[in-house]
Structure 1
Amino acid sequence: MTLKHRELYERYVYAGAISRNADAVAEMFTEDGLFEAPLVPPGHRLPGRLEGREAIRTGIAAYHDDPQYQRTVDIERSRYVLHDTTDPDVFIAEIDTGFIAPGGRRTTMSLVQIFRLRDGRIASLRDYFAPPAG
């Protein structure tokens, strides 16, 4: 696992799950970047496919603004493993994220993300997670 991959991944997590900053998330993508969430059901607040930096910014912002998804990351209960591939611009993240929901309820979401980079930015990200029901 390269340091470049770890640094980018940690910046992505901080921008998204921790600080919920859609602008910072979008700026990590190339102008023509692609965000895909294949397990998100149709009609979900977060579209399963966002093409282009501005669509990513708008889609991620809407997801973060939805009260249903206003949870705090529990750093102590979260963990990840990064895997390099034979392509130096592709890496895979296996993640178990602990969350604390309003009211103190604790949950864990397990997911896999596949990152493809170009010129130091995310060209595509496939985010395999199943959003909580409700």
Structure 2
Amino acid sequence: MGYPLQNKRYQQGISLVGLIVVLAVIGAIAVLAMKVTPTVTEYFSIKKAIASVKAAGGSVPEMRAAFNRQAEVGYIDAIDGKDLDIVKNGDDTEISFAYQKTIPLGGPVSLLIDYAGSTGNGVAKKALP
């Protein structure tokens, strides 16, 4: 008596090595997401703070001081009020910022993210020739 022959096309599943590789990839992506998420949250906090400062108005030093107060409350460490570029054109004010965040991943490997934002309308200004 022998065992019945099994047809290979009916076999399904994943091998142990395949499972380990898939779990390693998912784990690496999860660790990367956990390290990047706080910086993205801080970026959106900065955008919210500069929108609030623009709505409040005032002189350039007052706007910088107002941003510093909002940064203390919102746990913003990446930039300070002096790092803001504030341009006033009559009644219109545009506040912009740019900074880099380095996230260490392990050993000599790190991730560098460039963040930039503005209270402008998002339309790129084309330089005239």
Fold match (TM-score > 0.5): no
Which has a greater percent of helix? Answer: 2
Q: Compare relative contact order (CA 8 Å, sep 6+) and give the higher one, 1 or 2.
A: 1
What TM-score do you get using the length of structure 1 for normalisation?
A: 0.30
What TM-score do you get using the length of structure 2 for normalisation?
A: 0.31
